[in-house]
């Protein structure tokens, strides 16, 4: 995947660039907003990672607003130190697709980048999602595995749906909190683990191959083990 | 040099005096006062001197009509006779008549000669005339007669002139006195205004100079100035509160963030200096990353509290259903409680509409549930309830069966980083209730803490969050 990183802090940029390259992406880095806007407008990228506060007179918000007004729909992830709720709202309103506040864990950034990159393909309305022998029927909102019906609560269904939509990708706890529960803060106790473990009980118990995996220091992933 | 600069200062002072709002108000009132005075003087003039003038004119007109009639019926002889009769009965000696022939010779009347006055017949004039060797002011009317005869009817106006001069003198004096009063009143008003405003101005400059503890002294009059002073004081209290909040945050950062930072630093340094192998170096670094994550969580929580306390989030207030928020929180924490062998009992009406910051309220409820789950031993029960305690109010209560808080700790709960002794061994930073308190304040409410089961061995804690349902 080709990613444009617009970040003025050299250390953060180096770290992000290196990490993303190791994960198999091609990363172009510029350190100011004007160059960033120029590159984003003329070259096709799969994803933009933008800092909010940038030198050069063009900040991250302006870049997104300008691109969106030109009909450019490249997914945008804001990577910024502006963490207040209002700032997040501003970023998403301007046309950003995700918002990650510094300091961040690289695993979190990578998971969000891969989730964003996968998104356009998911816009095709699917009625049934499958991972190995697990089937999630989005119309009847039922779950079956190996032909056997699994009873899940509505919230568990949404949790499973989210995991399955991102099958093969790491989904972090914060992403689940935001996307499944609409929580925009970190609860003190890790409530997500409890919910995932309950879901895992229902989905994996009694089957030889576990589908829901814990990825250490990152989050969860659903995948059919090779 | 000195003299001229003092002069300039003096002129500046006068300029400032003239520009001051006090002077302008005072001048306005002085002008109004003098205008009223002028109106009164005009009325007085019209009622006295004016009436007298009109009476004289009426008398002359009646006289002239009679003489005109005599001229028409009896000619010169009749007029002479009539004048003679009238002069004979004029005891006050006010009447003036003069009838002359075509040559200008006097035929009748009490004037020696024709006075200088307009020649047009039927004209009025006020002239000084000579009578019996004395010049007196008079009001004169010339009748239109034919055959070259001229007839003059008039009245001595000495009395009227006397009254006029008397009146104008009196009015002039009273006007002078009125001007003096107006000026004195204006000065007094200006001074009163300046005196009332001086305290507020002094307070404002003291505060601008950095003394935030000063407040505008209020009088017992409860007037506009006191209202202004009271709102200034309210504003200052709010600023003070915010300053204390900011100071609290910087103190917190100084004390409570330094410790974990120091710990992380020590761990890294120690690993750098004495890690026996790559494996333990790696372990130390992983722990340090976790430490740093903890620090940023605390930081985030602090900023969130400040956000709530500053009240800036009021702009994001919107209507939402508190019942839905609670159902959500109960669903999230119900699973957690169940896993720890706790029961979560819930009770609230189907709908609890309110206006506020949904995210903040949700986080406050989540923090209360977090605490309850943390402190209640296995097998215990947590109760989450909500309702409408009064019109325009909403309450959310969370009670647990934990160790509870001593009255002293309860008073301190909600202070940033405060942790009661029994909780020190448990994870947390002592910011949960601070946020709940800030969220309550953001919604014009409060957080009340009390024993959930007073008298029991484990009294537990009931946290009652009161919120205003309107923005």
Do A104 and A9 fall into the same domain?
yes
* A83: contact with B, CB 8 A cutoff: yes
User: Which residue, B14, B169, B139, B143, is CA-closest to B70?
Assistant: B143
Do A115 and A199 fall into the same domain?
no
Do A112 and A210 fall into the same domain?
no
Enumerate the residues of chain A whose CB falls inside 8 A of the CB of residue B297.
186
Select the residue from B336, B373, B436 to test the A interface by mutation, using most A Cβ atoms within 10 A: B336
**pLDDT classification of A79: cutoffs 50, 70, 90:** very high
Quickly list H helices, B143-257: 158-208, 224-252
Do A133 and A192 fall into the same domain?
yes
Confidence at residue A27, expressed as pLDDT on a 0 to 100 scale: 95
Residue A58's domain comprises 2-122
User: Which residue, B330, B329, B328, B320, is CA-closest to B351?
Assistant: B320
Burial per residue of B158-190, b for 16 or more beta-carbon CB atoms within 10 angstroms, e otherwise: eebbebbeeeeeebeeeeeebeeebeeebeebb
* A81: contact with B, CB 8 A cutoff: no
Do A32 and A64 fall into the same domain?
yes
B148 and B102 Cβ atoms separated by less than 8 Å: yes
Of residues B125 and B328, more confidence is placed in B328
**pLDDT classification of A187: cutoffs 50, 70, 90:** confident
Judged against a pLDDT cut of 80, whether residue B315 lies above it is answered with no
Do A13 and A65 fall into the same domain?
yes
Q: How far is CA B446 from CA B84, B360, B364, in A?
A: 107, 14, 12
Confidence at residue A96, expressed as pLDDT on a 0 to 100 scale: 93
Query: How far apart, in whole angstroms, are the C-alpha atoms of residue B12 and residue B4?
Result: 12
Which one of A72, A101, A122 terminates a domain? Answer: A122
Do A109 and A178 fall into the same domain?
no
Q: Is A30 helix (H, G, I), strand (E, B) or coil?
A: strand
Which one of A122, A153, A181 terminates a domain? Answer: A122
CATH number, residue A184: 1.10.10.10
Residue of A nearest to B331 (CA): A155
Mean pLDDT, range B419-425, rounded to an integer: 69
Do A147 and A182 fall into the same domain?
yes
Number of domains into which chain A is organized: 2
Confidence at residue B306, expressed as pLDDT on a 0 to 100 scale: 81
Q: What is the ipTM of this complex?
A: 0.84
Confidence at residue B3, expressed as pLDDT on a 0 to 100 scale: 44
Do A173 and A98 fall into the same domain?
no
Write out pLDDT tens, residues B128-169.
887 777 788 888 888 777 777 888 888 888 888 888 898 889
DSSP secondary structure string for all residues of B92-151: T--EEEEEE-TT--EEEES-SS--S---STT-EEEEEEEETTEEEEEEEEEE--STT-EE
User: Which residue, B198, B197, B204, B253, is CA-closest to B225?
Assistant: B197
Judged against a pLDDT cut of 60, whether residue B108 lies above it is answered with yes
Q: Is A55 helix (H, G, I), strand (E, B) or coil?
A: coil
Q: Which structure tokens are listed for A188?
A: 């003190």
Enumerate the residues of chain A whose CB falls inside 8 A of the CB of residue B432.
188
Do A37 and A68 fall into the same domain?
yes
Nearest by CB: A185 against B313, B363, B373: B363
Percentage of chain B surpassing pLDDT 90? 19
Write out pLDDT tens, residues B34-44.
888 889 889 98
Which one of A85, A101, A122 terminates a domain? Answer: A122
- Lowest model confidence (mean pLDDT) among A143-147, B90-94, B316-320: B90-94
Confidence at residue B5, expressed as pLDDT on a 0 to 100 scale: 46
Mean pLDDT, range A141-153, rounded to an integer: 91
The listed range with the strongest mean pLDDT (A207-211, B243-247, B410-414) is A207-211
**pLDDT classification of B175: cutoffs 50, 70, 90:** confident
CB-defined contacts A:B, below 8 A? 59
Q: CA of B456 to nearest chain A CA: how many angstroms apart?
A: 27
Mean pLDDT, range B318-344, rounded to an integer: 92
Half-sphere exposure of B208 (CA within 13 A, CB side): 6
Query: How far apart, in whole angstroms, are the C-alpha atoms of residue B351 and residue B260?
Result: 44
Do A32 and A99 fall into the same domain?
yes
- Cross-chain Cβ contact A85/B307 below 8 Å: yes
Do A216 and A164 fall into the same domain?
yes
Select the residue from B317, B335, B359, B427 to test the A interface by mutation, using most A Cβ atoms within 10 A: B335
**pLDDT classification of B425: cutoffs 50, 70, 90:** low
Q: CA of A15 to nearest chain B CA: how many angstroms apart?
A: 15
Integer-rounded Cα radius of gyration of chain A:
19
Integer-rounded Cα radius of gyration of chain B:
49
- Cross-chain Cβ contact B307/A84 below 8 Å: yes
Confidence at residue B10, expressed as pLDDT on a 0 to 100 scale: 65
The structure tokens 């097998």 sit at: B379
Nearest by CB: B432 against A85, A103, A188: A188
* A216: contact with B, CB 8 A cutoff: no
Confidence at residue B2, expressed as pLDDT on a 0 to 100 scale: 43
Write out pLDDT tens, residues B298-310.
888 888 888 887 7
Mean pLDDT for chain B overall: 84
A134 and A164 Cβ atoms separated by less than 8 Å: yes
Nearest by CB: A184 against B303, B339, B359: B359
- Cross-chain Cβ contact A103/B292 below 8 Å: yes
Write out pLDDT tens, residues A108-133.
999 999 888 876 555 567 788 889 88
Judged against a pLDDT cut of 80, whether residue A12 lies above it is answered with yes
Confidence at residue B404, expressed as pLDDT on a 0 to 100 scale: 84
Nearest by CB: A194 against B312, B315, B339: B339
């Amino acid at each position: 995947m080709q990613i444009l990183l617009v970040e003025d802090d050299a250390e953060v940029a180096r770290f992000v660039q290196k990490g993303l390259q190791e994960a198999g992406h091609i990363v172009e880095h510029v350190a100011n907003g004007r160059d960033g806007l120029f590159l984003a407008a003329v070259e096709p990228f799969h994803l933009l990672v933008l800092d909010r506060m940038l030198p050069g007179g063009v900040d991250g918000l302006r870049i997104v607003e300008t691109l969106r007004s030109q009909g450019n729909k490249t997914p945008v992830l804001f990577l910024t130190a502006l963490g207040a709720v209002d700032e997040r709202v501003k970023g998403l309103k301007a046309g950003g697709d995700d918002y990650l506040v510094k300091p961040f864990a690289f695993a979190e950034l990578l998971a969000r980048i891969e989730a964003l990159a996968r998104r356009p393909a998911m816009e095709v309305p699917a009625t049934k999602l499958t991972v190995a022998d697990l089937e999630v029927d989005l119309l009847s909102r039922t779950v079956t595995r190996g032909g056997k019906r699994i009873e899940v609560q509505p919230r568990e269904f949404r949790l499973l749906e989210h995991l399955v939509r991102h099958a093969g990708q790491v989904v972090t706890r914060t992403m689940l909190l935001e996307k499944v529960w609409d929580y925009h803060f970190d609860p003190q106790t890790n409530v997500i683990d409890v919910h995932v473990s309950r879901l895992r009980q229902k989905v994996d118990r009694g089957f030889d191959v576990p589908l829901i995996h814990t990825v250490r220091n990152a989050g969860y992933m659903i995948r059919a083990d090779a | 040099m000195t003299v001229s600069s003092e002069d300039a200062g003096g002129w500046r002072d006068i300029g400032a005096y003239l520009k001051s709002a006090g002077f302008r108000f005072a001048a306005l009132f002085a002008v109004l006062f003098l205008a009223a005075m002028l109106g009164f003087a005009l009325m007085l003039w019209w009622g006295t001197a004016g009436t007298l003038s009109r009476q004289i004119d009426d008398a002359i007109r009646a006289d002239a009509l009679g003489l005109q009639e005599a001229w028409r019926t009896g000619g010169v002889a009749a007029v002479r006779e009539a004048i003679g009769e009238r002069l004979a009965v004029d005891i006050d000696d006010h009447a003036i008549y003069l009838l002359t022939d075509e040559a200008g010779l006097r035929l009748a009347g009490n004037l020696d000669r024709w006075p200088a006055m307009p020649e047009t017949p039927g004209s009025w004039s006020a002239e000084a005339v000579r009578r019996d060797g004395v010049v007196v002011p008079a009001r004169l009317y010339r009748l239109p007669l034919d055959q070259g005869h001229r007839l003059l009817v008039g009245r001595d106006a000495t009395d009227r002139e006397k009254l006029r001069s008397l009146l104008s003198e009196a009015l002039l004096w009273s006007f002078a006195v009125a001007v003096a009063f107006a000026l004195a009143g204006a000065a007094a008003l200006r001074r009163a205004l300046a005196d009332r405003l001086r305290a507020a101005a002094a307070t404002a400059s003291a505060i601008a100079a950095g003394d935030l503890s000063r407040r505008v002294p209020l009088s017992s009059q409860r007037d506009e100035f006191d209202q202004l002073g009271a709102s200034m004081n309210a504003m200052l209290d709010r600023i003070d509160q915010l300053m204390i909040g900011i100071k609290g945050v910087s103190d917190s950062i100084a004390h409570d963030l330094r410790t974990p930072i120091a710990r992380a630093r020590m761990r890294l340094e120690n690993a750098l200096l004495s890690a026996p192998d790559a494996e333990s170096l790696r372990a130390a670094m992983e722990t340090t990353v976790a430490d740093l994550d903890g620090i940023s969580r605390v930081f985030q929580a602090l900023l969130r509290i400040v956000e709530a306390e500053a009240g800036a989030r009021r702009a994001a207030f919107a209507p939402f259903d508190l019942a839905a928020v609670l159902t959500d929180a109960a669903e999230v924490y119900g699973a957690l409680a169940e896993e720890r062998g706790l029961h979560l009992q819930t009770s609230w009406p189907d709908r609890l509409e309110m206006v506020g910051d949904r995210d903040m309220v949700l986080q406050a409820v989540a923090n209360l549930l977090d605490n309850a789950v943390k402190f209640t031993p296995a097998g215990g029960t947590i109760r989450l309830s909500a309702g409408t305690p009064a019109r325009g109010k909403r309450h959310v209560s969370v009670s647990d069966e934990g160790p509870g808080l001593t009255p002293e700790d309860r008073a301190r709960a909600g202070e940033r980083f405060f942790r009661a002794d029994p909780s020190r061994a448990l994870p947390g930073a002592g910011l949960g209730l601070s946020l709940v308190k800030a969220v309550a304040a953001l919604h014009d409410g409060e957080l009340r803490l009390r024993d959930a089961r007073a008298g029991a061995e484990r009294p537990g804690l009931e946290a009652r969050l009161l919120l205003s349902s309107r923005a």
